[in-house]
Structure 1
Amino acid sequence: MTESILIKIAALNDLDGIIKLQTANQISHGGTLSGQLTADQIQEMMTDMPQIIAVVNNEIAGFLLTTSQSVNNKRKVPIVDAMSASYSGSEDSYIYGPICVSQNQRGKGLAQLMFKELLRLEPNREGILFIKSDNEASLKAHEKMGMHKVSSFRFNDANFDIFTYLFP
């Protein structure tokens, strides 16, 4: 059976699916996400920048969330503040992430497809992200997408690498 894959900008009616996937991929559930955003925070992000989702067979199988520096500066997210203290980026930069793909859809290129859509929508802007230094799969995936390490930081007894990209 061929899977139906749709990459699109998330709408409000996608919020529950994003939250469900985010919850399933928290460290406490065996995942690798380093933080958890509330529905209100994601909704605010939706009004600010494109939030990209991958829908496979009518189910949200991936998300790529983004936050402008102006929205980020309105809230205090300690891990993001630690990243920004180590590398702040250009004036028009934005925060890339979190990105998440459901366990049964990993390795099928969904992360790259969502990233490609983000670049189409936000060309010529620097994206900044952090990855836990021991998350080999994520580090390799992001390097494969053309991102490069610019710094690192320590937060809550864990090491993180900061990556950036700027594509036309």
Structure 2
Amino acid sequence: MQLKLAELSDIDGVLALHSKFQIDTIKEEDKKDGFVTTAFTKDQLSELILGENGLFIAKDDGVVVAYVMAASWHFWSTHPVQAYMIGQLHHYKFNGETLTAENSYQYGPICIDTTVRGAGVLEKIFAYALESMSQRYPILVTFINKTNPRSLSAHIKKLGLSVLNEFQFNNNSYYWLACSTRTDANRPFEP
């Protein structure tokens, strides 16, 4: 398995994987195993690759089997839920630091193909993306829909993220999570 920063030539593979697990296109019986809520276009992924260096992928025999997106709050500011989160950042501290758009970034979504789930791919691609983003930001921030308990469990138990709070947006309920990009520095939320 190869972990790498995505290139423009990887976009079709990312979108193929994405469409299998995106909420609008996933099979109903597969939702219980996790899903991605946000839809993406080729242009958005191009901007994520070229402008943010924020699309990390795992390939197996040349096929994209996992991806992680990570980018500045500026990149995500046109997405309604992230725009809401930007306005709330200053209400939270993590590891003694008040969250800002300068000291944190938005991580996710992440998607792992069912063919490689349970094989450590989640932990590997997360660590790869976290290490890369640690050069720019000390704190990772994300959110998970409450209707996606598998994702919440994986992020807390396998990846060590901390739940900061819960919030409502656009008739959905979410968990707000964070972790340090320095893997040895993760501590629980400080009020």
TM-score interval (norm. to shorter):
0.7 to 0.9
Q: Distance in 2 between matches of 1:20 and 1:66?
A: 19
Which of 71, 76, 83 is residue 75 of structure 2 equivalent to? 71
Residue 83 (structure 1) shift = 3.0
Residue 60 (structure 1) shift = 0.3
Q: Distance in 1 between matches of 2:87 and 2:8?
A: 32
Residue 40 (structure 1) shift = 0.7
TM-score (norm 2): 0.78
Aligned partners of 1:87 and 1:162 also within 8 Å: no
Which of 43, 52, 59 is residue 40 of structure 1 equivalent to? 43
Could you say which residue in structure 2 is the equivalent of 1:16? 12
Aligned partners of 2:65 and 2:113 also within 8 Å: yes
* Deviations, residues 13-66 of structure 1 (Å, cap 9, x unaligned): 100011111111111323421111111111111121331101112210000011
Q: CA RMSD in A?
A: 1.7
Q: For structure 2, list consecutive stretches of 5 or more residues without a partner in the other structure.
A: 91-98, 183-191
Could you say which residue in structure 1 is the equivalent of 2:125? 114
Could you say which residue in structure 2 is the equivalent of 1:102? 113
Q: Distance in 2 between matches of 1:108 and 1:85?
A: 38
Aligned structure 1 segments of 4 or more residues deviating by more than 4 angstroms: none
Paired positions, count: 162
Between the aligned residues of both structures, percent identity stands at 27
Q: Distance in 2 between matches of 1:86 and 1:69?
A: 12
TM-score (norm 1): 0.88
Q: For structure 1, list consecutive stretches of 5 or more residues without a partner in the other structure.
A: none
